[in-house]
């Protein structure tokens, strides 16, 4: 589907819905992560409403693209995108982290149809994605594997082993999307364990590298479309994002990495997002 101006507006509205769903879910739960889910809302809206080959009414469709969330702590963004895409009722978002819910604090494959893997321990998602992409190649399948990773989980050794393996087997059906928000729970990634030059490290591991503004749906979709054309090697998209994007008092503040808004803060966030929605519509 062409990325027209109207299509971009539609995706921006979807991203706004996703952000509102995140805030409501976190406020109802009283626990969870805020900054990462909010900064990845544009990307998940683009994935679920434009990029992925999937069917919410048939989550196990064999020809679906596989989307893996390695950094499972930001799962409110996936749940919200899935709800608005039609995988389950939007009202179910309010059960986040509640006892017996399908919406656990980290996604569990056996609980929620449409979730490909259980994630929690950081660093393992790309290795799982490599295995799936290799299986698709072996079976002659055309579906792709997209893995969403955090920048901080690049501090895990297993992730780098997966990078080596993906390049060895020339997995051009594998795309890694990095949430490059430069924060982790204790501060800046560049203070705690510097990652730069991150893009050059991937190039040295024989990956094709793209960079984009992860809070601009057009920029992200353009990067995905270019990555889909790469032959003979896996691709990585370094998506530069603003932590807490869309909520002014959270933006750029690492302390929101691992805490939810209270009722008053959630109300303020939802009012801001409502204003942003009106601006999107006004410029349509």
Q: What does 35-55 look like in DSSP terms, one character per residue?
A: HHHHHTHHHHHHIIIII----
CA distance 184 to 204: 25
Mean pLDDT, residues 217-232 taken together: 98
Query: What pLDDT was estimated at residue 274?
Result: 98
The strand pair at 183-184 and 208-213 is best described as unpaired
The dihedral built from the CA positions of residue 146, 11, 224 and 193, taken in this order, carries a sign that is: negative
Mean pLDDT, residues 251-270 taken together: 97
Position 1 pLDDT exceeds 90: no
The answer for 175, left when phi > 0, alpha when psi is -120 to 50, beta otherwise, is beta
Query: What pLDDT was estimated at residue 8?
Result: 97
Position 120 pLDDT exceeds 90: no
Q: What is the mean pLDDT of the chain?
A: 97
CA distance 48 to 68: 13
Mean pLDDT, residues 101-119 taken together: 96
Contact (Cβ atoms closer than 8 angstroms) between residue 212 and residue 220? yes
Percent of the chain scoring above 90 in pLDDT: 98
Mean pLDDT, residues 119-143 taken together: 96
Mean pLDDT, residues 245-259 taken together: 97
Query: What pLDDT was estimated at residue 59?
Result: 97
Query: What pLDDT was estimated at residue 202?
Result: 98
Contact (Cβ atoms closer than 8 angstroms) between residue 75 and residue 217? no
Cα–Cα nearest to 103, from 120, 78, 128 = 78
Give the angle subtended at the CA of 67 by the CAs of 196 and 166, to the nearest 5°.
55
Report helix, strand or coil for 117: coil
Label residue 31 by pLDDT band (50, 70, 90). very high
Query: What pLDDT was estimated at residue 2?
Result: 79
Domains of the chain: 5-282 (3.40.50.970)
Percent of the chain scoring above 70 in pLDDT: 100
Position 187 pLDDT exceeds 80: yes
Position 133 pLDDT exceeds 80: yes
Query: What pLDDT was estimated at residue 98?
Result: 97
Cα–Cα nearest to 73, from 266, 258, 261 = 258
pLDDT tens per residue, range 35-86: 999 999 999 999 999 999 999 999 999 999 999 999 999 999 999 999 999 9
pTM: 0.97
Position 284 pLDDT exceeds 90: no
Mean pLDDT, residues 129-152 taken together: 98
């Amino acid at each position: 589907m062409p990325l027209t101006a109207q299509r971009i507006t539609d995706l921006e509205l979807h991203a706004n819905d996703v952000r509102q769903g995140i805030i409501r879910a976190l406020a109802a739960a009283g626990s969870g992560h805020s900054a990462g889910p909010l900064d990845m809302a544009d990307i998940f809206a683009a994935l679920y409403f434009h990029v992925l080959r999937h069917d919410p009414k048939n989550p196990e469709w064999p020809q679906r693209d596989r989307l893996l969330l390695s950094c499972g702590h930001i799962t409110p963004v996936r749940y919200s995108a899935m709800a608005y895409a039609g995988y389950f009722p939007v009202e179910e978002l309010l059960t986040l982290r509640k006892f017996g819910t399908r919406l656990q604090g980290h996604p569990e494959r056996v609980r929620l149809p449409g979730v490909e893997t259980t994630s929690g321990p950081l660093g393992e998602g790309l290795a799982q994605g490599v295995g799936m992409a290799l299986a698709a190649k072996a079976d002659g399948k055309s579906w792709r594997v997209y893995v969403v990773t955090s920048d901080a989980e690049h501090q895990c050794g297993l992730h780098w082993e997966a990078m080596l393996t993906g390049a060895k087997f020339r997995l051009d059906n594998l795309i890694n999307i990095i949430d490059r928000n430069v924060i982790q729970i204790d501060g800046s990634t560049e203070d705690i364990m510097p990652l730069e030059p991150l893009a050059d490290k991937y190039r040295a591991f024989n990956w094709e590298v793209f960079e984009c503004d992860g809070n601009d749906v057009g920029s992200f979709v353009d990067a995905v479309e270019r990555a889909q054309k790469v032959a003979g090697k896996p691709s990585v998209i370094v998506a530069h994002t603003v932590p807490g994007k869309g909520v002014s008092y959270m933006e750029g503040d690492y302390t929101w990495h691992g805490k939810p808004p209270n009722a008053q803060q959630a109300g303020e966030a939802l009012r801001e997002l409502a204003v942003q929605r009106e601006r999107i519509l006004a410029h349509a």
